[in-house]
Amino acid sequence: MCGVGFAHDAFSTIDTMARTIPFARTAAAARARRNKTLLLPMPRTEADRICLQVHIALDAMRRGTGTASAAQTLCQAMILTGLLAEAGYGEATFEQMRNAEDVISAAFDRGQDSGVWSLDEQGFQQFAVIVSTYDRQLHRAPLAAVADASDRLERFRGGESFEQVARKRA
């Protein structure tokens, strides 16, 4: 009888082991998974998709076939690059961002006046550096930093100054 009881216990143990281990479905467990995700870079396919859009916008502006949307895409990438660099991910100087702002402002003025949305060779070179930096940032910076920079950009677009946004963070 002892052998049969042992065999029954062994099969019960094997049956239990074959079942999947249930993960905790509590709010705390979900929060922990979310927090871990925010420490990792964004998924490569998503970063590639975003970067491709920015590279396409830069190419269109270089060829003189850009649109207001392409110019806006470059402007947003420029701002996010600066914000991510400020947070310690990548390098961008204040002077570099200020010059790029002048370049994209001129492109907006030219585009609205003449309908030609473009960057000259010097402007293209400046934005090529920014777009390359942005590309690296999206592939390496933690998702939390990218989300924070995006949130700051949205608040800025909503009318808050970067100084107001910075005060709220402090």
Range of the domain at 45: 41-169
Neighbours of 125 (CB within 10 A): 12
Q: What is the pTM of this model?
A: 0.76
Position 130 in a domain: yes
- Domain membership flag for residue 32: no
| 109 assigned to some structural domain | yes
Report the domain count for the chain.
1
Q: What is the pLDDT along the chain (170 residues), one digit of tens a residue?
A: 444 444 444 444 444 444 454 555 676 666 666 777 788 899 999 999 999 999 999 999 999 999 999 999 999 999 999 999 999 999 999 999 999 999 999 999 999 999 999 999 999 999 999 999 999 999 999 999 999 999 999 998 888 766 665 566 55
Q: Is residue 11 part of a domain?
A: no
Distance of CA 142 to the CA centre of its chain: 9
Q: Is 52 exposed, middle or buried (0-12, 13-18, 19+ CB in 10 A)?
A: exposed
